[in-house]
Structure 1
Amino acid sequence: MLLQKFGLAAGLVVAASAQKVKLMLLGDSITEITCWRPLVWNQLTSAGLASNIDLVGSMSDLQSNCQKPSGFDMNHEGHSGWQAYDIAKNNIAGWVQSTKPDIVQFMLGTNDVNIGKRSASSILDSYTSLITAMRAANPKVKIIIDKLIPTSWSDATVEAVNTGIPNWVSQKTTSQSPIVIADCSRAAGFTNAMLRSDGVHPNDQGDQFLAKQIGPKLVQAIKDVQAGRKVRKSFSG
């Protein structure tokens, strides 16, 4: 009987290890039409994690100028021109309820500034609504929030959002659903030379910078999800 119980527990650990980690990349055109996503995929492949993850989302496009790695999972929730305010109000609940992601990584707010003319506090309030929906779908969701890349004209509201993010994270992070920051800001080294001529979207150099800032956070989050599953399943036996 003891051997049977031990075998069951071991089997659950194996099953937990084999279960894919569901990852949502959420954002606007900086997620949809640029090339940092496949660069991050290469990092996940190098870390031996690509076969263990499932990128989720209603979008599956990749720009023709981006190199598509072997096996690249193109699903995402990057929506060009969309604002954090509208996504929080109208979309996020449905997206996360249908996919139940284990990890959500997001960069949102540039369109709230440039199109919606919203304040930094309004954008941070939208972030709160976003994570509330994420946690309703999965109380243990791990969240990575990106500080916004700069505009070429150094918009003061973008900078104010970035300044406010650390305090927002300290208030909202929990042990069950931790939030970490991927710093993609000017203060972290993103320069105007990394922007396209439109002054908003990253060029090839900018994509490399985003991948360098975001990729390691995703690698760690994936490993943390896998480790947590092994612990929970081993005790359930």
Structure 2
Amino acid sequence: MRGLTILSALAAVASAQKVKVLPLGDSITDICCWRGFAWAEIAKAGLADQVDFVGSMTGIQGRCNAPSGFDPNHEGHSGWQAYDIARDNIAGWMQQSKPDVVSVLLGTNDINIGKRDATTIINAYTSLLTSMRTANPNVAVVMSTIIPMRWDDATAAAVNKQLPAWVQQHNTTQSPIYFADISRTTGFTTDMLQGDGVHPTIQGDQIISNHLAPLIIEAVTQLK
């Protein structure tokens, strides 16, 4: 019995030493495949045993590649908007999961469902960041642009145009922000979307991972 207690204690210590990464998003994080690709890159970098994906959601779509040892936890919620998450959810999720790193891929539903303008979406990002830093003043954030879509791409482009300046304004040494530009200018095209014009194909998911995974790895490495 004592041996089991010691083993449990060691396992708890090992878990506590892992860098907690919270993939935060909507259905592009929930039901699409980039998390599997990103985990494969984390494993390739030799960090799989040092990273813990966290969040109240779990799983990955059957069509997605789930690499060996894949950690399925995340905070991707289909149909949810940055505005609502900032107002109602992020503070509780931060307290529950206590992440060291948060990757943010939000804004698509603010445009398609909420019909929000670029300024409102940028303000929602600021509210998200404030809540993250209230919960963890040292949190590292991987901030992504809104991926292209076939419908209201003009609003997404307006948000994305403002994001580099937003990142520069809010970036700090204590709580760094890493900027992921997943846009037409960096290789993501609407040909990489499924028939609904919003969700990425496997090719699109790979592009998302190509941009997010290196930044997640960099953030984790800086925290080790």
TM-score normalised by L of structure 1? 0.87
Matched, 1:164 2:166: no
Instruction: Map 1:1-237 onto structure 2 (within 5 A).
Output: 19-153=17-151, 155-226=153-224
Distance 2:100 2:165 in 1: 24
Distance in 1, matches of 2:159 and 2:193, equals 19
Give the drift of 1:154.
Answer: 5.6
User: Displacement of 1:30 after TM fit?
Assistant: 0.6
Whether the aligned pair in 1 keeps the contact of 2:111 and 2:152 (CA below 8 Å) is: no
* Residue in structure 2 matched with residue 3 of structure 1 by the alignment: none
- Taking the aligned partners of 2:87 and 2:59, their CA distance within structure 1 comes to 24
Report which structure shows greater RCO (CA 8 Å, sep ≥6): 1
**Deviations for 1:5-64, whole angstroms, at most 9, x for unmatched residues?**
xxxxxxxxxx89x81000000000011111110100000000000110111100002111
Query: Where in structure 2 are there 5+ consecutive unaligned residues?
Result: 1-12
Q: Deviation at 1:171?
A: 1.1
Say which one has the larger Rg. 1
Between the two proteins, the alignment pairs up a number of residues equal to 212
User: TM-score, normalising length from structure 2?
Assistant: 0.92
Task: Look up the SS of the partner of 2:142 in the other structure.
Answer: strand
CA RMSD of aligned residues (A): 1.5
CA contact (8 A) 2:39 2:67 kept: yes
For structure 1, list consecutive stretches of 5 or more residues without a partner in the other structure.
Answer: 1-14, 227-237
